[in-house]
Amino acid sequence: MKTAKFTRKTEDFDCAFCGTHVKGNGYTNHCTECLSSLHVDVNPGDRASDCHGLMLADSLERKKGEMFIVHKCTKCHHIRRNKISPDDNFEAILALSNGTIDDYRQNLLLMKKLQACVLKNKTR
Ligand SMILES: [Zn+2]
Ligand SMILES: [Zn+2]
C-alpha cells in the first residue's frame, strides 16, 4: 500500500515486525514494543533511503551519558543509532542490554498471535 508523501514528521505507523500501532511523537522512529524500525532515512527524518528494509534493534550503546539503540538493517546491513524513547518498553531495553532480544522478539510475536486468537474467539 503506497500512501501520499510525508508532510509531517509525527506520523503514526504499524510496526513492520510485530504489527504494534505506534503513535508518532516527533522523535520516535521505532516500535515501542519490539524496538524495530524501517530503513527509510539516510539522515534522521529525511525519508531519503529507498532501501525500506526492516531494521532490528541489535545492541545498546552508551555515549556521553545517553543510551542509544543500535539498529541494523536486515536488507543492506546499514547500522544506525537511535535515542531511546521514554515510551519504549523497558523489558525490551533490558532484553537488548542482556543479549536476549531475539527471545524477547519471538515471545512478543507469539503473544500477539495468541492475543489475536483470543480476540477472534471473543467476537464470535
Ligand atoms: Zn514492533
Ligand atoms: Zn537498508
> 123 CA to middle of ligand 1, Å?
25
Average pLDDT estimate for 82-109: 95
Residue 2 covered by a domain: no
Residue 118 covered by a domain: yes
> 109 CA to middle of ligand 2, Å?
22
Residue 3: its pLDDT value, please? Answer: 54
> 45 CA to middle of ligand 2, Å?
15
Average pLDDT estimate for 28-54: 89
| Residue 75 clears pLDDT 70, i.e. is over it | yes
Residue 44 covered by a domain: yes
Residue 23 covered by a domain: yes
State percent of the chain over pLDDT 70: 88
The rounded distance, in Å, linking the Cα atoms of 6 and 10 is: 9
> 37 CA to middle of ligand 2, Å?
10
Distances (CA, A) of 61 to 40, 79, 81, 84, 122: 22, 12, 8, 10, 43
Residue 105 covered by a domain: yes
| Residue 58 clears pLDDT 90, i.e. is over it | yes
The rounded distance, in Å, linking the Cα atoms of 59 and 30 is: 14
The rounded distance, in Å, linking the Cα atoms of 46 and 40 is: 8
The rounded distance, in Å, linking the Cα atoms of 82 and 107 is: 23
Residue 53 covered by a domain: yes
Q: Which ligand is nearest to the CA of 42?
A: 2
Number of structural domains (the chain) is 1
Residue 105: its pLDDT value, please? Answer: 98
Structural domain harbouring 45: 13-123
Average pLDDT estimate for 52-66: 94
Residue tagged 534522521 (cell numbers): 44
> 78 CA to middle of ligand 2, Å?
5
Cβ atoms of 62 and 118 within 8 Å: the answer is no
Residue 5 covered by a domain: no
